[in-house]
Amino acid sequence: MTLVVACDKMTIMIAEHEPPPFEIVRPEGRSRVILCCDHASHRVPAALETLGLSEADRLTHIGWDIGAAQVARRLSELLDATLVLSSYSRLVVDCNRPLHVPGVIPVSSGGVKIPGNEGLSEAARARRIDAIHRPYHAAIDAALDARARGARPPVLLSIHSFTPELLGVRRPWQISLLYGRDVRLAHRFRDALRRDASLNVGDNEPYHVSDETDFTVPVHGERRGILHTAFEIRQDGVARPEDARRWAERLAAIWLELEPSLREEA
């Protein structure tokens, strides 16, 4: 499965020495699973400097999903699955937000103002979207299209992480399954995870998927009608590489257990 995605960096703010808007791992992966990680990086293009934030702020949960990329990379390895990761911070443009909502380029996050995002013109917003959001999702589309041409329909797994506490509210779930209209895969994973009595497994917590808050699941999962779910893993459980690997191994084992019963499902 060879993926070819157009990416014209000459029209955008990403410099030649900087990474492209997405990274593809295992483009020739044999699994029917396609993995994606919308908030894999805290990188900000040099042209945008620091967005007016300290490095400490950019490295917190407001800048990226801590540990999510490590889980996704290990899961890709275990399943031999193609993985698409975003290369830039959600503070530059949020790759899991619909294009029409203000939060696609947030002016604040987690109670922190983002000076570099205030007062942007429509042209400036469009440049960021065209630079990062559209190419990233074109790469996911290309991966799903390539897999759909095979003998088995693709399955989309989106990997996220969430902060243990937000604005003074503690979040008790170690992991949660997120979904919108289609519960098929999310509930299977949820039920499998709940067999472990030591886990507090959320069901659409601390977020739920909707057309107004999410892009990846509604566009790539629901519109295609394929099996899909998003994982939200609490960041204190994946911040260390060894813990991220353990979560990946747990999710891989569940998928391999479930997969035989899902072979005929889209």
Rounded distance between C-alpha atoms, residue 190 and residue 265, angstroms: 18
Please check whether residue 43 lies inside any domain of the structure. yes
Average pLDDT of 90-102? 97
73 in any annotated domain = yes
Compute the mean pLDDT over every residue in the chain, rounded to the nearest whole number. Answer: 94
Is 229 within a domain? Answer: yes
Confidence band of 151 (pLDDT split at 50, 70, 90): confident
How many domains, the chain?
A: 1
pLDDT above 70: percentage of residues in the chain: 95
Residue 224: CB atoms within 10 Å: 17
Residue 9 has pLDDT above 60, yes or no: no
Q: Which residue has the tokens 């759909």?
A: 148
Q: Which helix (H) or strand (E) is 233 found in, with range?
A: strand 227-234
**Would you say residue 2 has pLDDT above 70?**
no
Whether 160 has a pLDDT exceeding 80, the answer reads yes
Mean pLDDT, range 122-146, rounded to an integer: 97
What is the model's pLDDT at position 155?
98
Compute the average pLDDT of residues 21-39: 98
How confident is residue 170, by pLDDT bands cut at 50, 70 and 90? very high
Residue closest to 61 by CA, chosen among 212, 167, 202, 215: 167
Report the pLDDT value the prediction gives residue 7, as an integer from 0 to 100.
Answer: 43
Q: Residues 208-232: pLDDT tens digits?
A: 999 999 999 999 999 999 999 999 9
Q: What is the reported pLDDT for 3?
A: 55
Which own/partner pairs from 107-111 qualify as long-range (CB within 8 Å, at least 24 positions apart)?
Answer: 109/62, 110/60, 110/61, 110/62, 110/163, 110/166, 110/167, 111/167
Does the pLDDT at position 264 exceed 80? no
Q: Is residue 3 domain-resident? A: no
* pLDDT tens profile 241-262: 999 999 999 999 999 999 999 9
Q: Kindly state the average pLDDT of the residues 105-128.
A: 95
Q: What is the pTM of this model?
A: 0.94
Is 4 a member of any domain? no
Q: Considering only 2-6, 62-66, 203-207, which range has the smallest mean pLDDT?
A: 2-6
CB 38 within 8 A of CB 6: no
Per-residue pLDDT, 243: 98
Q: Where are the alpha helices (DSSP H) in the chain?
A: 55-58, 68-79, 122-128, 134-148, 184-193, 216, 241-258
2 lies in a domain? no
C-alpha to C-alpha distances, 247 to 42, 71, 240, nearest whole angstrom: 21, 7, 11
Full domain range(s) for residue 194: 9-262
- Answer yes or no: is pLDDT of 1 > 60: no
Q: Of 5-9, 11-15, 111-115, 128-132, where does mean pLDDT reach its minimum?
A: 5-9
What CATH code is carried by the domain that includes residue 103? 3.40.630.40
153 cis-preceded (ω within 30 degrees of 0): no
